[in-house]
């Protein structure tokens, strides 16, 4: 199943994230895929807020801390951008996090597909100026 969306502002991207949150199961691996500046963290702000785990203002990119936890473990936000090898990602305990009853948002997860659950949701973002094209696919 694939759905395609377009947003034209940061606020609209956050709002789309809120809407998408309502379609997610309580246990889900969600990959946020896109270049730097594509809107991955902005969409994550909306998803986390839509799940009632934190306000958009409380959600920040986990680029340096690698993992943020929201809502008492209901939502994890992971960023693998700074990791060079799969073994570095493995050391984060991703397999354990993916087993939890939580929504796990992973930025740059496509870099280490062997570490990700086969059943997942992939959200691809691309930016064209202020516009964002956002494609949502459920695998398998």
Distances (CA, A) of 8 to 12, 31, 50, 51, 108: 6, 22, 19, 23, 23
Domains and CATH numbers, the chain: 2-139 (3.40.50.300)
pLDDT of residue 17: 98
Residue from 101, 110, 1, 114 nearest 51 by CA? 101
DSSP string for residues in 10-64: HHHHHHHHHHHHTTS-SSEEEEEE--TTSSHHHHHHHHHHHTTSS-GGG----TT
pLDDT of residue 130: 85
Across the 140 residues of the chain, what is the mean pLDDT of every consecutive 10-residue run? Answer: 96 98 97 96 98 98 94 97 92 95 96 94 94 96
pTM over 0.85: yes
Q: Which residue has the tokens 């354990």?
A: 96
The answer to whether the beta carbons of residues 50 and 21 sit under 8 Å apart is yes
Tokens of 106: 């992973």
Cβ atoms within 10 Å of 67's Cβ, excluding its own: 16
pLDDT of residue 127: 95
pLDDT of residue 110: 93
């Amino acid at each position: 199943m694939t759905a395609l969306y377009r947003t034209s502002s940061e606020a609209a991207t956050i709002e789309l994230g809120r809407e998408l949150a309502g379609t997610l199961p309580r246990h889900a691996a969600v990959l946020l895929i896109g270049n730097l500046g594509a809107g991955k963290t902005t969409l994550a702000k909306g998803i986390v807020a839509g799940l009632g785990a934190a306000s958009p203002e409380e959600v920040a990119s986990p680029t340096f801390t690698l993992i943020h936890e929201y809502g008492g473990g209901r939502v994890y936000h992971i960023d693998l951008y700074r990791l060079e090898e799969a073994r570095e990602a493995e050391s984060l305990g991703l397999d354990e996090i993916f087993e939890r009853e939580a929504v796990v948002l992973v930025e740059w997860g496509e870099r280490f597909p062997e570490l990700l659950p086969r059943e997942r949701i992939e959200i691809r973002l691309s930016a064209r100026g202020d516009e964002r094209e956002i494609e949502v696919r459920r695998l398998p």
